[in-house]
Structure 1
Amino acid sequence: MAGLGYLDYLTGDFNFTLFYVIPIFLFTWFVGRNAGIIASILTCALVFSINFENVRDRAASSHLAWDFSMNLFFYFLLGFMFQMLRHNFDRINELAMRDPLTQALNRRSLDELAEYELRISKRNRRPFSVAFFDLDNFKTVNDRFGHGEGDRLLRKVVEIMESNVRSTDMVARIGGDEFVVALPETGADEAPIVVAKLRESLNAAMTAAGWPVTFSIGVVTCVWPNCSWSEILGMADALMYNVKSQTKDSFLHEIVG
């Protein structure tokens, strides 16, 4: 902004109005609305001082107050538009990453984030665990209580999962009644404890709400992560189906190298 002001001062009669939009846009987009407002005020003050220096007829300087007001209105309006644009941009990104019903991560965003975290685990030689959840008897809830109640149940599942894991863990809904919890830097000793706590909290919520739902869970821990994300997820999925086909309402844990 100072550089633009200096060029504006040197060139004199050339109009730099559009160039001043650039710093206002950058402040608003990357810092926030308040920073954009401050940038707008500073820009108008800078333009006013430059025009005041360049005005030879001091009688004409009375018009500078009007120019300052119009510039301030113009830059404030642009800042507001930039802020709305950023809000819509963030909203679209959020919708692209989240399941619209539960606000959990969707499959696409889970794959991207988990791949990134898995690369970090490989580089630091840290363990990585994944838990694959399937809701037993979920269709019964939809048939007996209606789909609205089923939707409420799914939202409750995500709420409990997110409240019982770390902020660095990932909770995703990847199917109708299938959920994945990715646990970076969680080893073979910690993963069963986390999953058991989750299962206990989930079962308690289902019982309290009168929902006849339990959870079949497959858990895989990569001690020295040499497998890909798709391989780990596939192993957890297979373990979950083993639980579902045998006992339901339980979990199996497998450790891989």
Structure 2
Amino acid sequence: MNYDYMSKEKLIEILIQKDDMLRKLWGENKKLNYLASIDVMTGVLNRKSGLELLEREVKLININDKNMVVCFVDVDRLKIINDAFGHEEGDKLLINVTSILKNNIRKTDFVIRMGGDEFLVVFPETTMKEANRVWYRILKRIEEINKNNEKYKLSISYGFYEYDNEIENKLTVSDLIRIADAEMYKFKRKKEDLWHKCRKNK
């Protein structure tokens, strides 16, 4: 009788331990999945997981008849900063840029590190007018940081594209990125031309 009682007690103990182990494994698995989706240095979505999420968002806006805005971002003159101050400073610059982006976008928006000094900011179910309001906060924050930065000026080039579901529902994610990237390069070239012109006039 006592043996049977102890067996039940032992069984309950084993079941509790198993339950605890399963919870721990689930938590570790969740953590591993999170780490696998994040760019280690900047803490934003890495390219693979970010583009998968963007694919899902495109499908959703096609179903919900909503617009979306994507913004391709390039950190200006990162190579010059790496050469002048070292790669550690260049890494800090990338971390600062992503921190500014993350802290000033809305909860529904997300940032993807495309590679190197290039990022994509996605504004789901958003018009260009709404995205501009968010972007103003980002530019304002950059302006504030540059007032106290004696080493160099933090600068980004960016290009927006608004995906209008009613007229462009056949565009792919690659199309969206390509168009936003092209807009970014137009802006970057204008900035570089102005920069070189200013240097010549000094």
| TM-score when normalising by structure 2 | 0.83
Instruction: Answer whether contact 1:141 1:212 (CA < 8 A) is retained.
Output: no
In the TM superposition, 1:57-206 aligns within 5 A as: 60=1, 62-206=2-146
Larger radius of gyration: 1
Instruction: Answer whether contact 2:75 2:94 (CA < 8 A) is retained.
Output: no
Change (3 A) 1:191 1:150: same
Gaps of 5+ in 1: 1-59, 251-257
Is the deviation greater in 111-120 or in 81-90? 81-90
Task: Indicate the residue corresponding to 1:229 in structure 2.
Answer: 173
Once residues 83 and 16 of structure 2 are traced to their aligned partners in structure 1, the CA distance between those partners, rounded to angstroms, is 54
Larger RCO, structure (CA 8 Å, separation 6 or more): 2
Write the deviation string for residues 20-71 of structure 1: whole angstroms up to 9, x where unpaired: xxxxxxxxxxxxxxxxxxxxxxxxxxxxxxxxxxxxxxxx1x3344223322
Counterpart amino acid of residue 12 in structure 2: L
Q: CA RMSD in A?
A: 2.2
Gaps of 5+ in 2: 195-202
Instruction: Answer whether contact 1:101 1:155 (CA < 8 A) is retained.
Output: yes
Once the two structures are aligned, what percentage of the paired residues are identical? 32
Once residues 99 and 206 of structure 1 are traced to their aligned partners in structure 2, the CA distance between those partners, rounded to angstroms, is 25
Instruction: Answer whether contact 1:129 1:191 (CA < 8 A) is retained.
Output: yes
Q: Secondary structure at the match of 1:166?
A: coil
Counterpart amino acid of residue 157 in structure 2: S
Deviation at 1:237, TM superposition (A): 0.4
Task: Indicate the residue corresponding to 1:50 in structure 2.
Answer: none
**Aligned match for 2:154, one of 204, 213, 217:** 213
Deviation at 1:209, TM superposition (A): 4.1
Number of residue pairs matched by the alignment: 190
| TM-score when normalising by structure 1 | 0.67
Instruction: Answer whether contact 2:111 2:121 (CA < 8 A) is retained.
Output: yes
